[in-house]
Amino acid sequence: MAQQVQGVIARTKGEPVRIETIVVPDPGPGEAVVRIQACGVCHTDLHYREGGINDDFPFLLGHEAAGVVESVGEGVTEVAVGDFVILNWRAVCGQCRACLRGRPQYCFDTHNAKQKMTLTDGTELSPALGIGAFAEKTLVAAGQCTKVDPEASPAAAGLLGCGVMAGIGAAINTGNVGRGDSVAVIGCGGVGNAAVVGARLAGAARIIAVDIDDKKLETAKGLGATHTVNSRSADPVEAIRELTGGNGADVVIEAVGRPETYEQAFYARDLAGTVVLVGVPTPEMKIELPLLDVFGRGGALKSSWYGDCLPSRDFPMLIDLYRQGRLDLDAFVTETIALEDVEKAFERMHHGDVLRSVVMF
């Protein structure tokens, strides 16, 4: 039977979000209903509210979540009722060319739930990133659920569903950071700091954190950065070169999404190094590079979409590291809040005071 629960809705462009009653249908074939326990507040939720992603209002926001499977539809084999799961944006097939090449986020055959959640008047909702987890319950494709160790804290586990996975994956999956590498991370918000953690997990010898905010650099140090550079007071490209014996970093991760930092990342790498772009630019942004500089540099220029994660491989592995005390996911949870406080959390995000606010149910 369809159920009515509370959810955070963005009705029209730029308007503050509101709590409204939503209708969650029973799961159809291949679908699951998940009782949400925790959901982080991510920039992308704000982008949806501002109409920056698409115009498919009203949105049910929230997409960085963990919870317990409450019911499953016909033919579901991925998960069972009672499983503790982390949700991901789209179910990937694991078998197409993109998946087999280790870039599952470019999968040719992804799918989300076919049925729709609605408002009580029948208006169909667009769930943020195919999830919609600022709600007591949500309907997803079963393939969007990855079972992990139920002993993990829901707040910490949920973070792997988006920003923290994007950062860790940018270092480990996209950047292929190796033991002894030197890594520079430009922009140390939630995503960049997760990239610092990823670089450390991968055994990087040198991790240079770059930001314009000393508070963020302090956090980066606590998470494993060996050097910090405030790019308001020093040229980051020069500083990174100096700290790497004049060569540049083996892997440079850009986690801001601005033209000047893209350019810094391009020039701060070793001639055979890799640049990983994880910061998302806006449509009007451009950079201009001398072609000879592009030609003269080997290595790779890669963008990282969702940390190139394969949820079934990466979520349980990272939760194991967390449970062993080798991955401090709790450090990313600045505060836990109630469902009513999402709008306030958006404001705090603007001031740069939080790595993550997490809604607890």
Which span sits near Zn ion by CB under 5 A: 36-44, 170-178, 260-268, 307-315? 36-44
| Residue at shortest CB range from ligand APR | 189
**CB 165 to Zn ion: min, Å:** 9
**302 interacts with ligand APR by CB under 6 A:** no
Q: Which does 99 bind (CB under 5 to 8 A by kind): ligand APR, Zn ion, none?
A: Zn ion
Asked whether the beta carbons of 212 and 237 are under 8 A apart, the reply is no
- Quick count: other Cβ atoms within 10 Å of Cβ 140? 27
Alpha-carbon span 158 to 38, nearest angstrom: 6
Buried b (16+ CB within 10 A) or exposed e, 271-292: eebbbbbbbbbeeeeeeeeeee
Where do we find the tokens 């002993």? 151
**191 interacts with ligand APR by CB under 6 A:** yes
**CB 314 to ligand APR: min, Å:** 16
**63 interacts with ligand APR by CB under 6 A:** no
Q: What phi and psi values does residue 273 have, to the nearest 5 degrees? A: -85, 180
Alpha-carbon span 212 to 233, nearest angstrom: 8
Binding residue for ligand APR, selected from 110, 261, 274, 357, defined by CB under 6 A? 261
**53 interacts with ligand APR by CB under 6 A:** no
Residues in the chain: 361
**90 interacts with ligand APR by CB under 6 A:** no
**210 interacts with ligand APR by CB under 6 A:** yes
The DSSP result for 291-351, as a single string, is: HHHHHT--SEEEE-SGGG--HHHHHHHHHHHHHTTSS-GGGG--EEE-GGGHHHHHHHHHH
Where do we find the tokens 């918000």? 189
Asked whether the beta carbons of 207 and 228 are under 8 A apart, the reply is no
**188 interacts with ligand APR by CB under 6 A:** yes
**CB 154 to ligand APR: min, Å:** 20
Which span sits near Zn ion by CB under 5 A: 100-108, 188-196, 286-294, 300-308? 100-108
Q: Which does 278 bind (CB under 5 to 8 A by kind): ligand APR, Zn ion, none?
A: ligand APR
Q: Give, as ranges, the residues between 213 and 252 that touch ligand APR (CB under 6 A).
A: 213, 216, 231
Amino acid at 108: F
Q: Which does 242 bind (CB under 5 to 8 A by kind): Zn ion, ligand APR, none?
A: none
Q: Which does 107 bind (CB under 5 to 8 A by kind): Zn ion, ligand APR, none?
A: Zn ion
Q: Give, as ranges, the residues between 120 and 179 that touch Zn ion (CB under 5 A).
A: 162
Burial degree of 147 (CB within 10 A; 0-12, 13-18, 19+): middle
In the complex, the residues that contact Zn ion under the rule CB under 5 A are 42, 44, 93, 96, 99, 107, 162
In the complex, the residues that contact ligand APR under the rule CB under 6 A are 43, 163, 166, 186-192, 210-213, 216, 231, 255-258, 260-261, 278-280, 352
